[in-house]
Amino acid sequence: MPAGRSMSPSDWGLLCILSALWGGSFFFNKIAVGEVPPVTVACARVGFGAVLLVLIARATGAQAPFRKLWRPLAAMGLLNNVLPFSLILWSQTHVASGLASILIATTPLFSVLIAHLVTDDDKLTAARAFGLAAGLAGVVVMLGPDLLHELGADVLAQLALLLAAFFFAVSGVYGRRFSAYPPAAIAAGQMIAATAMLLPTALFIDQVWTLPAPSPAAVGAIAGLAVLSTALAYLIYFRILACAGATNLMLVNFLVPVSAILLGVGLLGERLAPRQIAGMAIIALGLAAIDGRLARRLGKGRSSTRGRA
């Protein structure tokens, strides 16, 4: 999609829903990895997600030429699931969820640079550069600058999160090749590939048969990851990718912390702090700049004013 094209209201709506689904994944991750090894959690997430997506694809008649696409789907599963999920889950045994959210929010920065280098229709513009900087600044303000004091405390875990963000960005650009196929079929194929790669590790390294039975809370967290943060989320992911492009899709990482905070307000009765409101306003400004619609309207307003003069 051309860099100057704005997302439709439905695209923005889907992006907000996706941010809520992925915002909950940090909460689910923290509960699950307290009892289950990270790779096993990742394997269970994509494995159960794959089963659900296959059922959805069959129920809706979604099909794709899997014999032709198995190599790209395997690459997508590796870049978008196996590597980043494992890195995030491992890092969350060392890093607070808030700092993890900030570091994962660098995904749009990586995405716009990669898309600028390897695509012809998704180039970096001044408005996008400003919007990306504002979005990341808004995340930091909203979650609290004090979290930045933790930078350097667990360097390997923090680098793992940045590497996960990079893989997410690469997979978003790489996934453009699937835009002609039904989202349910592609999401199912990706999850099957990811499961095939993670299952041997979970079986032979974590030796799952030797692990104690997880608590109901851990089982519920893994179920939430599989159903909400994986199966449903990736149906929406591939829909947005086909309609709005990789760079706009990666903006979800600015909205994930916003969704997490608003869910806390709506479901847990938490109160919004002034810095959180300010951070959300800065994020909104950044997203408006990236979208381009506001800038075009302002430009038209100036032009009409000059014409009347």
Residue 230 DSSP symbol? I
> Using an 8 Å Cβ cutoff, are 243 and 180 in contact?
no
How many angstroms separate the Cα of 176 from the Cα of each of 53, 235, 244? 20, 15, 10
Domain of 144 in residue numbering reads as 9-302
d(CA 219, CA 15): 27
Q: How confident is the model at residue 2 (pLDDT cuts 50, 70, 90)?
A: very low
Whether 4 maps to a domain, the answer reads no
Tokens of 104: 């994962």
Is residue 2 in some structural domain?
no
Q: Give whichever of 211-215, 265-269, 296-300 has the largest mean pLDDT.
A: 211-215
Summarize pLDDT for 52-79 with one digit per residue, the tens.
Answer: 999 999 999 989 888 899 999 999 999 9
Could you tell me the pTM of the whole model?
A: 0.81
State the pLDDT confidence band at 292, using cuts at 50, 70 and 90.
low
pLDDT digits (tens, 9 = 90+) for 137-149: 888 887 776 666 6
Q: SS3 for 292?
A: coil
At 4 the pLDDT is 47
Q: Is 84 domain-assigned?
A: yes
Instruction: Provide, rounded to the nearest whole percent, the portion of the chain with pLDDT above 90.
Output: 37
Tokens at 73, concatenated? 């789907």
Answer whether residue 141 is part of any domain.
Answer: yes
Average pLDDT of the segment spanning 38-52: 94
Query: Does 308 reside within a domain?
Result: no
Phi-psi sector, 144: left (phi>0), alpha (psi -120 to 50), beta:
left
What span, in angstroms and rounded, lies between the C-alpha atoms of 226 and 248?
24
Q: Over the stretch 232-265, which tens digit does the pLDDT of each residue have?
A: 999 999 999 888 888 788 888 888 888 777 776 7
Q: What is the model's pLDDT at position 253?
A: 83
Task: Say if residue 304's pLDDT is above 90.
Answer: no
Per-residue pLDDT at 147? 64
The rounded distance, in Å, linking the Cα atoms of 47 and 168 is 19
Count of the separate structural domains present in the chain: 1
Q: List the single range of 61-75, 116-130, 155-169 with lowest mean pLDDT.
A: 116-130
How confident is residue 294, by pLDDT bands cut at 50, 70 and 90?
low
DSSP designation for 149: G
User: Region 95-102: what's the mean pLDDT?
Assistant: 74
pLDDT of residue 58: 94
The interaxial angle of helices 126-143 and 97-104, nearest 10 deg, is: 180
